[in-house]
Amino acid sequence: PRWIKVKDYEDIIYEKADGEGIAKITINRPHVLNAFRPETVMEMQDAFTDARNDPRIGVVLLTGAGGNFCSGGDQKVRGHGGYVDEGGMARLNVLDLQRQIRTLPKPVIALVAGYAIGGGHVLHVVCDLTIAADNARFGQAGPRVGSFDGGYGAGLLARIVGHKKAREIWYLCRQYTAQEALEMGLVNAVVPADQLEAEGVKWAREILDKSPIAIRMLKAAFNADTDGLAGLQQLAGDATLIYYLTDEAKEGQRAFLEKRKPDWSKFPRFP
């Protein structure tokens, strides 16, 4: 596709494919292997919000510049209580970004070349699908540098690869090849590094061929299974969206505005 830049950012590149429903967010701090600082996360939140609000976008690709995906939180700006932003405030705002990716009602595909380590690894874990380049390296690093992610980083990982493997990944902080990641169900496919983006676009186009609401409901359904009441809220919100499209729901609103009793008689009670 022909990528068109949406907006200027400092730490990321945000583009959309010309005439197609694909957005691409690229973490762009190659000097630190795309480690994120609070500003990186804020820019990603802004781009994901745009992708959510643009009705033409159906799939988001998340990737990294310079041959790596992401090496996690930038340890050079880690301070007392979190990662310190330019205003001096320590924060862990990547957790908000993780939830944003989960609740975005459109599939997000991680395209991972090189390192996906620490909080960078968790970012691909929360994406709907992951396509790995054959040179990708996966792993957690928290216990080595004095950190951990006990949310999606532990729980969702365990649902994906099983508890034994997830505990191994966290307790030992080893790195795993793309092939090993494929074998443990951590990624969907492995392709030569120079075909990573093309493969991601191919998968995105296949998804875009399908019913948008069916895809949206499936994402919410998969999340409901793991996200408890927040997951049910997402699924139920989508049910409400669809209900609002019906004449039955519109009759309720109309009757209220016309100050009359709603007439539900024309709406069947399905078996």
Please report, as residue ranges, which positions from 87 to 146 form the binding site for ligand 2NE (by CB under 6 A): 92, 94, 115, 117-119, 141-142, 145
> Cβ of residue 143: shortest distance to ligand 2NE, in angstroms?
9
Calpha distance 113→195 (Å, rounded): 10
Sketch the per residue contact string, 13 through 42, with ligand 2NE: x for CB under 6 A, - otherwise.
-------------------xx-x-------
In the bound state with ligand 2NE, the residue whose beta carbon lies nearer, of 145 and 198, is 145
Q: Give the count of residues interacting with ligand 2NE (CB under 6 A).
A: 21
Please report, as residue ranges, which positions from 207 to 266 form the binding site for ligand 2NE (by CB under 6 A): none
Options 5, 7, 56, 76; binder of ligand 2NE; rule CB under 6 A: 76
Please report, as residue ranges, which positions from 165 to 204 form the binding site for ligand 2NE (by CB under 6 A): none
> Cβ of residue 76: shortest distance to ligand 2NE, in angstroms?
5
149 sits near ligand 2NE (criterion: CB under 6 A): yes
In the bound state with ligand 2NE, the residue whose beta carbon lies nearer, of 23 and 133, is 133
> Residue numbers of the site for ligand 2NE (CB under 6 A)?
32-33, 35, 71-76, 92, 94, 115, 117-119, 141-142, 145, 147-149
